Amino acid sequence: MSTHTETPINLRSVLTPVLYSLQRPLHLLRTYNPHNLRADIMAGITVAVIMLPQSIAFALIADLPPQMGLYTAIIGAFFGALWGSSDQLLTGPTNALSLLVLGSLSSMFPSGTNEFIIAAGLLAVMVGTFQLVMGLARLGLLINFVSHSVIVGFATGAGILIGLKQIGPLLHLSFPSDNLFEAVRGVLATLPQTHPATAVLGIGSMLFVIILQRVKPRLPNGLLTMILASLVVYLLALDKNGIDVIGQLPRSFPPFKQLPIFDLDLIAHLSSGALAVAAIGLVQTAAISRTMAAQTGQRLDNNQEFVGQGLANIFSGFFSGYACAASFSITAVNFKAGARSPLAAVFTSLFVLAAMLLLAPLAAYLPRAALAAVLIVTAYGMIDRKEIKRIWRTSRGDAVIMIATLLATLFLRLEFAVLMGVLASFARYIAITSQPPVHSVLPDENFEHFVHKPERPVCPQLGVLTIEGSLYFGAAQHVEEEIRRNLEEHPGQRFLLLRMHRVNHCDVSGLHMLETVVRLYRQHGGDVFMVGVRETVWEKMRLSEFNTFLEMDHYLTQERAIEHIFYHILDPGICIYQCPVRAWRECQTLPKCEHDSMVAVGTVVPYTAVTHIPPRELWRQLMTAHKGGERPLVIDVREQEEFELGHIPQARLAPMPQILHHHIVLPKQEKIVLVCRSGRRSSQVAFALQAEGYTQVSNMEGGMIAWQEARLPAVID
């Protein structure tokens, strides 16, 4: 019966977010504010002007036909906007992903061949499928575990490789450029073969872009450079004198392409590259969307963004494009142009389509040298020197990941470089979380907060440790080792207080570790207490019955923990006679009386080793003594200062060291009841007196604390 009722509820809980993610365009249209239409259209026009030449240039980085860059821009911007979550994010071809696509495919197919183009489309579909599945499975949080240093390292390496690769078309040279060594060697070997006209046009275009960026940074410098270079080629007929041109682009909508989606061998060969492209695309997209959200205050949904990127790549692959992702430069232009909603990116897609249909014939005069010039300037901009310095100064761990990813990008296959950087991020995260700090803490000067002050002397009886991380299987051994190390450094600390308020998660391995620690301290005659146990951790303790192993009275409140342990657990004999430290608020007024040869101090007396008398029974015997009953001799073994603060009526003061050193001799023939603050010192004295032949000695159970709790009268001197 329960199975039939629970299954539909579980299915609904799973399907509801999936359906909501897929119905995102309907939600956008229903909630769209018509007042944003003009701003979105103007932003769409502005971005299209810049995106048009960039898309062609990025396609050439991947050694793909220039129209594939345009198709990717049209499809990627459309689907990425309608199914994404950011209002300003704009999806399309990017320089880093273009280089990564080339690196993933160049080892399997010759560039420019039909097989190479088909494989690029299939790779995009695989990338989109990975991203879509992650989004629908609500795995957007995984992207948070990939370090930003991976993107910085890969972008830096990609910028260097793109710049070297574009030297070829800039100077009309031909050389292999699969890695850094080949590219540098190829440039040096073929430099004498430079085509003068191409070099003049290419270098001139590059200077024009740089000057335009400095003088008029808001102008579409890439587009203006390409238009000017095309006019020079047309007017001087340079296309007939050895200048390579793009050639006329097709004037059509993005055509549907039949892809070998059931070719398992090809899919297997493309899988590592697809994972790398998907990872870099998602990390790059998440970083850009967060940057925009920080300025707009928009609340983002990583899972929805994964869905948008996944659909953009799937449809891009099927409609003659290649892998795409969010572009920071284009997104920044979209934001500065005043985009109010995702429809601005949709308008960009439509304007790029219109421009391609109208202006395609003009590409017949667009020189590849001008595109190479634009790409070299763009590649130089990919090297974020300010961010590199910031990472280097801030975190050595992030710096190592950045340098490792950079070197791998320069010298290894690109998909392996990316995956290595991602794995390094996960490895660093695991290393950090598997070694949570375990600090020994003490109260501050005002006894209001606990602080880590390793230079201060600690309490010889009680250790207080703060665990600053989750107790999962990867961290359990480290935490146990830190606790054992603390016990080895302070072997007298038989009692341990664990501050658990920063432990958000605890699995079975963590619980087993805690059980081991409790056994360890109990074997030393001590015990373990906890404060600040979170609800999620407590639920795991309850389900595993750990709360029966470590009893309920061992879970204390933050405010009263030290007070409870000090007055009920710690040995006051050690506090008074052996400890010069005043670590806690409770021991600030405690008398400190050092004596030699206090053998009984610190020993644990079993409860059954001495006779105990409850406070009310002692009071009854004292009262019946007035009626002729035998009156016990009440001996208070505390110090003078403690005695004066409150003692049992008619009790005699005989401090513990004076009894043990025989400075005070008690009568053996009388019935003696020993009293102290908590019953620990008096039980130790009773145990010592029994060893000397006292047969009528007993200990008042709980000491003066129990006496006061029973509301019995006390004398204050």
**Residue 89 near residue 288 (C-beta atoms within 8 A):** yes
Tell which wins on pLDDT, 350 or 378: 350
Q: What pLDDT, on a 0 to 100 scale, did the predictor assign at position 11? A: 55
Burial of 29 by CB count in 10 Å (0-12 exposed, 13-18 middle, 19+ buried)? exposed
Mean pLDDT within 285-298? 80
Please tell me the predicted confidence (pLDDT) of residue 572: 82
Mean pLDDT score of the chain = 88
Residue type, 521: Y
User: From the CB of residue 445, how many other CB atoms can be counted at a distance below 10 Å?
Assistant: 7
pLDDT band at 3 (very low <50, low <70, confident <90, very high): very low
DSSP 603: P
Residue 600: which of 631, 624, 574, 582 has the closest Cα? 574
- pLDDT at residue 249 is higher than 90: no
Quick one: which of 415, 390, 395, 393 has its CA closest to 405? Answer: 415
Reported pTM: 0.67
Asked whether 175 and 183 are in contact (CB, 8 A), the reply is: yes
For residue 257, the tally of other CB atoms under 10 A from its CB is 15
Give the lowest-confidence range in 10-14, 127-131, 545-549, 713-717: 10-14
φ, ψ of residue 614 in degrees (nearest 5): -65, 155
**What per-residue confidence (pLDDT) applies to 627?**
65
> Count of CB atoms within 10 A of residue 1's CB?
5
Which residues is 529 bridged to in the sheet? 497
Distance CA 62, CA 80 (A): 21
Please name the residue that has the structure tokens 């990975």.
130
Percentage of the chain lying above the pLDDT 90 cut = 48
Cβ atoms of residues 614 and 701 within 8 Å: yes
Chain position carrying tokens 């995260």: 429
Tell me, what's the pLDDT at 12?
Answer: 58
The torsion region of residue 244 among left (phi > 0), alpha (psi -120 to 50) and beta comes to beta
Report pLDDT for 16. Answer: 64
Place of tokens 């549907």: 256
Give residue 41's pLDDT band: very low, low, confident or very high (50, 70, 90).
Answer: very high
Alpha carbon distance 165, 186 (integer Å): 10
- What pLDDT score was predicted for residue 1? 38
Q: Which of 129, 552, 50 lies closest to 318, judged by CA?
A: 129
What is the pLDDT, as a whole number, of residue 426? 83
Q: Which of 459, 579, 587, 676 is catalytic?
A: 676
For residue 471, report the phi and psi dihedrals to the nearest 5 degrees: -100, 75
State residue 178's pLDDT score. Answer: 64
* pLDDT of 554 higher than 50: yes
At 200 the pLDDT is 93
- Tens of pLDDT, residue by residue over 134-184, are 988 888 777 777 788 888 888 888 888 888 888 988 998 888 766 688 788
Q: State the pLDDT confidence band at 415, using cuts at 50, 70 and 90.
A: confident
Residue 441 — very low, low, confident or very high, per pLDDT cuts 50/70/90? very high
- pLDDT for residue 9: 44
Query: In the predicted model, is pLDDT for residue 599 greater than 70?
Result: no
Q: For the stretch 97-112, what's the b/e string if a residue is b when 16 or more beta carbons lie within 10 angstroms of its beta carbon?
A: bbbbbbbbbbeebeee
In the chain, % of residues over pLDDT 70? 95
Confidence class for position 199, pLDDT limits 50, 70, 90: very high
Q: Is 676 marked active-site?
A: yes
Q: Distance between CA atoms of 179 and 517, rounded to whole angstroms?
A: 54
- 227-247, pLDDT tens digit by residue? 899 899 988 888 888 888 888
Report domain extents, the chain: 32-429, 438-570, 609-709
Most confident of 41-50, 214-223, 263-272, 623-632: 263-272
Instruction: Output helix, strand, coil percentages for the chain, rounded to the nearest 5.
Output: 60, 5, 30
SS3 699: strand
Task: Name residue, tokens 């989750």.
Answer: 470
- Tokens matching residue 25: 């365009």
Per-residue pLDDT band for 467 (boundaries 50, 70, 90) equals: very high
Residue 612 pLDDT more than 90? yes
Q: What mean pLDDT do residues 665-675 have?
A: 93
Residue 117 has pLDDT above 70, yes or no: yes
Does 13 score more than 60 pLDDT?
no
CATH of domain 438-570: 3.30.750.24
Confidence label for 516 from pLDDT (cuts 50, 70 and 90): very high
Distance CA 152, CA 427 (A): 18
Whole-angstrom Cα distance, residue 406 to residue 425? 14
- How far is Cα 272 from Cα 108, in angstroms, rounded to an integer? 13
Buried b (16+ CB within 10 A) or exposed e, 58-70: bbbbbbbbbbbbb
Report CA-CA distances (Å) from 78 to 85, 105, 174, 254, 406. Answer: 13, 26, 36, 12, 32
pLDDT digits (tens, 9 = 90+) for 54-88: 899 899 899 999 999 999 999 999 999 999 989 99
Query: Which single residue is written with the structure tokens 């006019």?
Result: 231
| Mean pLDDT confidence for 107-133 | 93
Predicted confidence at residue 629, as pLDDT, reads 66
Q: Quick one: average pLDDT of 638-664?
A: 90
In CATH terms, the fold of domain 609-709 is: Oxidized Rhodanese; domain 1 (3.40.250)
What pLDDT does residue 390 have? 92
* Per-residue pLDDT band at 600 (split at 50, 70, 90): low
pLDDT of residue 628: 64
| Rounded-to-integer distance, Cα 349 and Cα 250, Å | 17
